[in-house]
Amino acid sequence: MRAAVVRSFGGPEAVEVVETEIPEPGARQVRIKVAAAALNPVDAGVRAGFFGGAGQQIGFGWDVAGTVDATGVATAWSVGDEVVALDPGMVRPAGTHAEYVVVETDAVAKAPRTVDAVHAATLPLNGLTAVQALDLLEPAEGQSLLVTGAAGAVGGFAVQLAARRGISVTALARPGDEEFVRSLGAAHFTSGAVGAGGVDAVLDAAMVGEPALEWVRDGGVYVGVRPGAHPASARGVRTTSVAVTADGARLAELAALVDRGALTLRVAETYPLEEAAKAHARLEEGGVRGRLVLIP
């Protein structure tokens, strides 16, 4: 099969599409024939060598939408099921940017029925990151939450999910994004600093860091989206960061919200797998609204 990989760290030009063996599913695993797979900032980090693996072939991609085409023992999935899944991993020979991928059965959920595979592929990583970050925040109905990077992929999901829980969301984004983030459910908008101690909690999808911590009231909560990169606690503010994990049950809940029109999926551009390097170059340029998606 074909897979997008890096064998020598560098910029977008380091991305290669190579032939490699089709993986076989083991017990409690399924193989998915990939229909679409999103490109995320973590893939740029892998390409640049931030997570190690020098001298190895390292595959890209955590998100996948496609069709089950083989199963191991002890799985409830059947060949032909249309699914989405999260396949996390920093250093492995191939990821979801390939023609086939093997994932754990518990990581899989039925694909949303109301969108195509390209849109469905934008849900797993960013949707699960948002919902698991909210789990860490534990906001109560009526409390205030600031979401930084609210127009981004994780931030956009977080705004929608928090608003559905009755949380008063303030969206921090660029001035031109105000109409969009309000359409997601943000009650308030800002494109600059927030008053000190002005909110109960911050979900820092833009990784503002220390300044965002100052915006949280004494005894509030700060959650970042880069594992281990959150600032130290101050003024009794609990600080932590989300390390996203595969969770098919939660992913199924998110897919159901998509089908009810409660979650917006955004695709910026699509690229054939052979043009993976071009997709990385576009990601490097910045300013992408929605996800870049690779199609094998």
Number of domains in the chain: 2
pLDDT score, position 138? 92
Residue 150 belongs to a domain with what CATH number?
Answer: 3.40.50.720
Measured distance CA(216)–CA(231) in Å, rounded: 12
Q: Enumerate the H helices of 4-60 as residue ranges.
A: 41-48
Residues 74, 130 share a domain: no
- Token pair 């089950």 is found at 68
Q: How many CB atoms lie within 10 A of CB 179?
A: 8
Q: Where are the beta strands (DSSP E) in 87-215?
A: 100-104, 108-110, 144-148, 168-172, 188-190, 199-204
Q: Are 3 and 99 in contact (CB under 8 A)?
A: yes
Side-chain-facing half-sphere of 42: CA atoms under 13 Å: 25
Residue 163: domain span: 126-241
Q: Examine the domain organization and report whether 170 and 109 are in the same domain.
A: no
Q: Are residues 130 and 219 in the same domain?
A: yes
Q: Whole-model pTM?
A: 0.96
CATH number of the domain to which 62 belongs: 3.90.180.10
DSSP letter at 136? H
User: Any idea of the CA torsion for 246, 248, 252, 258, to the nearest 10 degrees?
Assistant: 30
Claim to verify: residue 88 and residue 141 sit in the same structural domain: no
Q: Are both 40 and 113 inside the same structural domain? A: yes
How many Å separate Cα 224 from the centre of its chain? Answer: 13
* Per-residue model confidence as pLDDT tens for the chain (296 residues): 999 999 999 999 999 999 999 999 999 999 999 999 999 999 999 999 999 999 999 999 999 999 999 999 989 999 999 999 999 998 999 999 999 999 999 999 999 999 999 999 999 999 999 999 999 999 889 999 999 999 999 999 999 999 999 999 999 999 999 999 999 999 999 998 788 889 999 999 999 999 999 999 999 999 999 888 899 999 999 999 999 999 999 999 999 999 999 999 999 999 999 999 999 999 999 889 899 999 99
Amino acid of residue 268:
A
By C-alpha distance, which of 188, 192, 149, 140 is closest to 167? 140
The reply to whether 249 falls in a domain is: no
Spatial CA neighbour of 268 closest among 294, 244, 246, 250: 294
Give the pLDDT score at 290: 93
